[in-house]
Amino acid sequence: MIFNFYKPTVNYGSWADRFSSTWTFLLLLILALLTAWRHYRGPNFICKVPPEFSQHTTAFTEESCWLSRQIILSESLGYFSDSVDNIVTLDKDSLSKDSTRTLYQWLPLILALQALLFLLPDIILRICESSFGSGCQKLSKMIQDYRQNSADDRKSFAIEIGSYLYQEFSDRFLTVLPFGILTVLLAFVKLLFFVNAVTQLIILEGYLSPQNVTSYGQYVFESITNTNYSKIAYSPVFPREVLCDLKFVTLSNVRRYAFQCLVPVNEFNEQIYFFVWIWLLVVCVAAGTSGILFLVKSLLPMVRQRYIKKYLCMSNIPVTSSEVSSFSGTTIGQDGVMVLKMIGDISSDILVKDIVIQIWNIHKSKELHNTVSVQQTSSFQTNITGSASGGQQVTNLTPAASPEMIAMEKTGV
């Protein structure tokens, strides 16, 4: 049930769309919960306090340093004081000059926001497809029960779906173009997936990379491959050792201290975000590749023709290349191909074959009807012209036989 809930709304989404909207969303959501649990469990800060501090005062100091939004990096001062008990008293000017704002307390919320941004294109697809698409959401629910029907019911169901899809495909805004609103919508959603992944990766690069470093990934990989593992560098936004400025208020005075503290939680935070950086890089490559392949398949008519011809040949229907080109481009189009692929993914190729046959029969009957209508019009004009030239008045004209009458005569009915 949970897996079905997180499946893409439109099932004909490609593997890259599912990779972004489903797996990346779930991964970032799990990492957000895991990070929140780690922050809640602790320890987050371990500060060195004087011996006279009680256990309660020590816990208060460490929790206050964790909740503090400003810290002083050890690299900013270049040293820690060697005064007694490692307590350093700093003046106000030194604090304001060397303090740094922190964001690692907000990492669970940031990860959850990143997850929602990957789900946003699928939500847009859900809304737009239900408003302007072919009703694929309702259609997918109907097709899920196809296997449970009898053979006769399956044939009737295929005929109904084929007639419905023919009407949908014929009502495209521009029948001259092989693609419609569904193709444009999916192309836009794929672009959103790609832009979202690239934007998050760029922001992450700027947030995690130290100064004068072009790539955070290269920075980390070079640190890992360093033979001296004691000198592995870390991102400056995840410091391991800081000075924490606190004010201790008593009845008579206010004392201000900077405690030397370790931040063990940042080791966990940086490992999480290094994994997220690698994952986003893979998502960018997958989304870009999927978008290019989607454009190629949408613009090349031979892809649609080969797909439709496969099902026509399965039914032993003799067709020519021009007929397949007209049928796949004008009647079905790229929107129809995507809907048929969705039906095949949900049900089976047998249902797709029956639907294609039904659409083909309607297509050929319409062509025959148009041909007969043209012949009737031509015969009528010929009779009018001949009567006018002979000076006779036409009192009765016998129309040409309809397609139904021709079919009845051939079958002997």
Is residue 259 assigned to a domain? yes
Structure confidence at residue 351 as a pLDDT band (50, 70, 90): confident
Task: Supply the pLDDT for residue 407.
Answer: 40
**For residue 225, pLDDT beyond 70:** yes
Task: Supply the pLDDT for residue 96.
Answer: 52
3-state secondary structure of 3: helix
Is residue 113 assigned to a domain? yes
Q: What is the pTM of this model?
A: 0.75
Number of domains in the chain: 1
**For residue 35, pLDDT beyond 90:** yes
**Contact of 267 with 46, CB cutoff 8 Å:** no
**Contact of 211 with 220, CB cutoff 8 Å:** no
Sign of CA dihedral 40, 42, 47, 48: positive
Is residue 272 assigned to a domain? yes
- Cα–Cα dist 246/256, whole Å: 6
Is residue 119 assigned to a domain? yes
- Burial class of residue 61 in the structure, from the number of CB atoms within 10 Å of its CB (0-12 exposed, 13-18 middle, 19+ buried): buried
Which residues are CB-contacts of 50 (< 8 A; sequence separation ≥ 6)? 84, 85, 87
Q: What does DSSP assign to residue 229? A: G
- Burial class of residue 101 in the structure, from the number of CB atoms within 10 Å of its CB (0-12 exposed, 13-18 middle, 19+ buried): exposed
Is residue 279 assigned to a domain? yes
Task: Choose among 176, 124, 170: nearest CA to 367.
Answer: 170
Which of residues 384 and 121 earns the better pLDDT score? Answer: 121
Which of residues 306 and 1 earns the better pLDDT score? Answer: 306
Which ranges of 209-249 does DSSP label H, i.e. alpha helix?
Answer: 216-224
C-alpha distance across the termini of the chain, in Å: 54
Is residue 308 assigned to a domain? no
Which of residues 69 and 157 earns the better pLDDT score? Answer: 157
Which phi-psi region, left, alpha or beta, contains residue 403 (left: φ > 0; alpha: ψ -120 to 50)?
A: alpha
Q: What is the mean pLDDT of the chain?
A: 76
**For residue 401, pLDDT beyond 50:** no
Which residues are CB-contacts of 130 (< 8 A; sequence separation ≥ 6)? 137
Domain enclosing residue 48, as ranges: 2-150+179-299
- Cα–Cα dist 372/400, whole Å: 8
Task: Choose among 32, 31, 10: nearest CA to 21.
Answer: 10
3-state secondary structure of 385: helix
> What pLDDT, in 10s, does the model give residues 241-298?
888 878 777 767 777 777 888 888 888 998 899 899 999 999 999 999 999 998 888 8
Is residue 231 assigned to a domain? yes
**For residue 313, pLDDT beyond 70:** yes
Is residue 402 assigned to a domain? no
**For residue 178, pLDDT beyond 60:** yes
The residue type of 298 is: S
Question: Of 86-90, 185-189, 207-211, 321-325, which range is least confident?
Answer: 86-90
Task: Supply the pLDDT for residue 196.
Answer: 95
**For residue 122, pLDDT beyond 60:** yes
Which phi-psi region, left, alpha or beta, contains residue 46 (left: φ > 0; alpha: ψ -120 to 50)?
A: beta
Choose the most confident range, by mean pLDDT, from 11-25, 119-133, 161-175, 299-313.
299-313
- Burial class of residue 314 in the structure, from the number of CB atoms within 10 Å of its CB (0-12 exposed, 13-18 middle, 19+ buried): middle
Section 344-371 average pLDDT: 81
> Can you count the helices (H) and strands (E) in the chain?
17, 6
